[in-house]
Structure 1
């Protein structure tokens, strides 16, 4: 299957020229599934959700989208605590934790963003036991040969450069459960950096910001992923001023003890 993995669109801080180019690139490539791994908006304003909805309406493939911390009302305490996801539902009409079953795969989304946290940085997310139980239930009912994808906003794996950043809360315990559920691939964002690796035998791919001005050391990019039951290839497609161009790839193969890295390529 072919997956276009987009993240951190941040409508409200987006570049319209990149949005147009991205839609064109996706139509040309023709993915089987388009994944949006959170932070569709900058400040969860109605106009930003409307822009995100308009973008999604232009896409020709099925779209699985999960929210990120920026999709929560920021400094509006009543809205944030009493109706944190009202604007998401009103603006997008989409579930917070969607699932999609396609030919040879199942994709499950979880909402890792939280209205508050037991630490000063409320942008950090976490996973609870009920969410893990739902994932296990859904994928257990899937075709045993199906590729199993999980989509979340917050990271389950950090690159060497980002090792000081926090993983999603309860990441280690959740990964044990995801391995038990035979999840093959986790797609995430939040850090605005693109990389891929293996955590507890599961491939993890992080995407940078696709169209926003909020760069963090990398150009705008999305991930193009080709996967089957034996191999997963993650190729970042970076904006070069004229279009989104593939810039190398990470390759992973399935082994007896789970997925492992096969190296990089061009």
Structure 2
């Protein structure tokens, strides 16, 4: 069957009703813009003939019941199907404390967004004839109740069965944590690996063997498309941090059976209380970048002394904002050679993070 469909992705919404907003002076997220930005996205999507919308986690500021309830009700009003998965901020606790939901509470809020089984944190749905979505839960609490990105064996066993039964279908997978590296050394660097799935190699091997080519993630708050052995991990930046992006995607099959995915990115540039949102949010991120850049410079692999790191950190004020924007190009000729080479390594080899046509045929 020749598949042709259109869908959209908005990630890391961090929805926060006004009475729930946390006053964290050093937070990177402009959660104040979350709801008006989402409304602009939905207004645009209403003009398109969408088949569905994906929201790959971190739907709420930090798992507040009021925010989950508001978003659930808003999504129920949309004229097209919406499919969600939990992010680490959606389920910050193993068990509810009354104000914040617990991990097992999440499906009950979104029965209309994939979770028809309220006792399971992952699901599969036939979206169209020949098209299947698998929504995975990558949130796990270890024996110390520390939240990590991980798929337990029970979920992996279920996934093997679903993939075996899905032969002949086009399978899309969505999961909050990244499964392919989007940054150099992401899976080994202390600053990057917390955004990776802990057992990503196992999941990738399983999906690759089943012929899955498209994985949609969030969590990292950047626009990036990473590829491994013909598989793509398409991560979408956060709606509440620079550059406030979302994506529309068209899957096409031509008369010769060749398939490709066309990706277009969009940005929210203004909301009522932030008329110059792009400029404001980039400066907001830059103002808070120094501690992060110091950790990057003084940690492996550079391991600079603190005094030297302080010398170069101001030049990196917009480094993370430029990565979040997608398709970055970096060169800092004033840096020492080794440091210069390291940061040049974050440059995109080709410009596909925001607009791309990905070939999917064998």
TM-score by length of 1: 0.80
**In the aligned structure 2, how far is the partner of 1:52 from the partner of 1:158?**
30
Matched, 1:79 2:92: no
Matched, 1:111 2:137: yes
In the other structure, the counterpart of 1:132 is 156
Matched, 1:219 2:248: no
**In the aligned structure 1, how far is the partner of 2:79 from the partner of 2:143?**
37
Q: How far off its partner does 1:162 sit? A: 7.9
* Larger fraction in helix: 2
Matched, 1:88 2:106: yes
Once the two structures are superposed, the pairs formed by residues 1-266 of structure 1 within 5 Å of their partners are 1-12=5-16, 13-15=31-33, 16-74=35-93, 79=96, 84-93=102-111, 94=115, 95=118, 96-103=121-128, 104-116=130-142, 122-142=146-166, 144=168, 146-160=169-183, 163=186, 164=189, 165-166=192-193, 167-210=196-239, 212=240, 215=241, 218-228=242-252, 230-241=259-270, 248-254=354-360, 256=362
In the other structure, the counterpart of 2:305 is none
Q: Which has the higher contact order (CA 8 A, sep 6+)?
A: 1
* Larger fraction in strand: 1
- Cα 1:105–1:117, aligned 2, differ >3 Å: closer, same or farther? farther
**In the aligned structure 2, how far is the partner of 1:117 from the partner of 1:3?**
39
RMSD over aligned Cα, in angstroms? Answer: 2.7
Segments of structure 2 that go 5 or more residues without pairing to the other structure are: 17-30, 254-258, 272-276, 278-352
Q: How far off its partner does 1:254 sit? A: 2.9
Query: What number of residue pairs does the alignment pair up?
Result: 241
Segments of structure 1 that go 5 or more residues without pairing to the other structure are: 257-266
TM-score by length of 2: 0.60
Point out 4+ residue stretches in structure 1 off by more than 4 angstroms.
none
- Cα 1:141–1:251, aligned 2, differ >3 Å: closer, same or farther? same
Q: How far off its partner does 1:143 sit? A: 5.6
